[in-house]
Amino acid sequence: MAKIDPRGRKVKILATLGPASRSPEMIEKLLRAGADAFRVNMSHGDHETHAATISAIRDVERAVGRPVAVLCDLQGPKLRVGQFAGGKAVIRHSGHFTFDRDPAPGNENRVCLPHPELFGILKKGQRLLIDDGKLKLRVIQASPNAILCSAEVGGVISDRKGVNVPDAVVPIPALTDKDRRDLAFAIEHGADWIAQSFVQRPEDVAEARRLMGGYGALMAKIEKPAAVDRLEQIVELADGIMVARGDLGVELNPEEVPPIQKRIVAMTRRSGKPVVVATQMLESMIESPAPTRAEVSDVANAVYDGADAVMLSAETASGAWPEEAVTIMHRIAGQVESDPGYRRQVSFAEVEPDTTTADALSNACASIAESLPIAGIIVFTGSGSTARRVARERPAAPMLVLTPSAKIARRLALLWGAHAVSTKDIGSFEEMIGKGKRMALRHGFGTAGSKLIALAGVPFGTPGSTNLLHVVTLTGDELKNREA
């Protein structure tokens, strides 16, 4: 089976697997079409199915010779109404409707809300959104046993429809018992990233990190207004951030989401951590073989903003055109990155390097790549931290990351501009230069006469010791040796 060459683009593609795409054959097609990482949605399916999916990803990964990240996305708590007599009812527009704690079947005037914690926090004027915001109610009066609302937007409400509470911090943990079981499963099956849903406060992230026990990387999903309010603290605690625009769009006014998206991307970029823009990017491709112009512009906008990755959800999980969706996203990203104005746009979030040698050298890499025709930046790293520092600068040259850890190589599949390779560690300066040149040639980073930057730490093999930057030139002899 032929190996996959470097993508030729810097932004990564995260594709969700599901009934339409979890077969080994389709996973390989998606990889070859441009996917860099796969999302396993723990909200659907059972552990047996997810285990088979992850195993198939690893089999294909070995066959195509490229590290692939697996992200397991936890469901989080779901607030839902109770059941109705006859399965549904109609809430009259501008009429009154009550949520209470009575388990009796509901009607057009009331229904059970089986979440007692909500009765103690809701206040007059706050909103309740039902069925992804299709119905909008505003609290008139709240007591320990009943919440009387006015229907600003009425309509049909049916059994177990979801409830969003955008104006309050909901006093329930971000991790349910199901999430804890799913988290243990994900760790057991070697997931590289864990995505945490329903994050409202830094304490939610801290709890997930405690349960992970140092294994894998944690991506906090920003989908609640409360999380936006404490974004800086959440970014500091997480290993990466996902802009979950679907839920944000339910709890916020639609016009508020684009500037918040840009704010989240910029803040996460400054931290040097991966940021993924997700949800409804090419949604029409669930049924159509081609996206709308608005969707193409949406994906392009995220790439121009410098997001590390863009995500496909139902488009690849259950849609009719999964391979085509990845192909289109790959083409959009490539077109944006070839735009002469892309470099200026992607550098909008100026990053002041921290007062460390590693940050200063990472900043120097980007400066040198702007001044010289650099074919690639060769980064030697054990933990991935040097690669993240370099990526934070959004350098003009692509980055070849050489690491002795297969786990780190997989994790970096979601990092902007990083082509990671798992290889033996180096022990000397001469070995660094020799291996850097060989691996650059092997993976298509330059040819005879090309200049490369090598970034590493001395003593070699010591985490956190990045202190060496060296510019090298590939020679014709090295090319001949490779071909021989």
Q: What's the pLDDT at 358?
A: 85
Element (H, E) at 218: strand 217-222
80 is catalytic: yes
Q: What does the mean pLDDT of the chain come to? A: 93
Residue type, position 95, single letter: G
**Alpha carbon distance 452, 472 (integer Å):** 5
CA distances 236 to 209, 411, 439, Å, are 12, 18, 34
Q: Give residue 310's pLDDT.
A: 98
Q: What are the tens digits of pLDDT across the range 256-288?
A: 999 999 999 999 999 999 999 999 999 999 999
Give the pLDDT score at 479.
Answer: 59
- 245 catalytic per annotation: no
User: Any bridge partners for residue 28, and if so which?
Assistant: none
Complete DSSP assignment for 251-289: HS-GGGHHHHHHHHHHHHHHHT--EEEESSSSGGGGT-S
CA nearest to 137, candidates 99, 169, 105 = 99
Catalytic residue flag (residue 279):
yes
324-341 tens-digit pLDDT: 999 999 999 999 999 999
Q: Is residue 195 within 8 Å of 39, Cβ to Cβ?
A: yes
pLDDT in tens, 166-180: 999 999 999 999 999
DSSP code, position 393: T
What pLDDT is stored for residue 478 in this prediction? 62
Any residues with CB less than 8 A from the CB of 1 and at least 6 apart, and which? 28, 63, 64
- Cα–Cα distance, 213 to 241 (Å, whole number): 19
| pLDDT greater than 60 at residue 484 | no
Give residue 202's pLDDT: 98
Closest CA to 287 of 330, 321, 317, 325: 321
pLDDT of residue 2: 62
CA distance 444 to 408: 21
Report residue 72's pLDDT band, with 50, 70 and 90 as the boundaries. Answer: very high
Residue tagged active-site, from 279, 327, 381, 403? 279
| pLDDT for residue 460 | 73
pLDDT in tens, 437-455: 999 999 999 888 999 999 9
The domains found in the chain, sorted by start residue, are 12-76+174-344 (3.20.20.60), 88-164 (2.40.33.10), 357-483 (3.40.1380.20)
Check residue 228 and give left, alpha or beta (phi > 0: left; psi -120 to 50: alpha).
alpha
Per annotation, catalytic residue among 9, 221, 410, 411:
221
What kind and span of H or E run contains 89? strand 88-91
Tokens of 459: 């003593």
Helix (H, G, I), strand (E, B) or coil at 419: strand
Does residue 110 have an active-site annotation? Answer: no
3-class SS at 194? strand
Check residue 426 and give its pLDDT. 84
Q: Is the peptide bond before 395 cis (omega within 30 degrees of 0)?
A: no
- Residue-wise pLDDT tens digits, 28-59: 999 999 999 999 999 999 999 999 999 999 99
**Distance from C-alpha of 227 to C-alpha of 17, rounded to nearest angstrom:** 27
pTM metric for this prediction: 0.93
Q: 32, 78, 80, 178: which one is catalytic?
A: 80
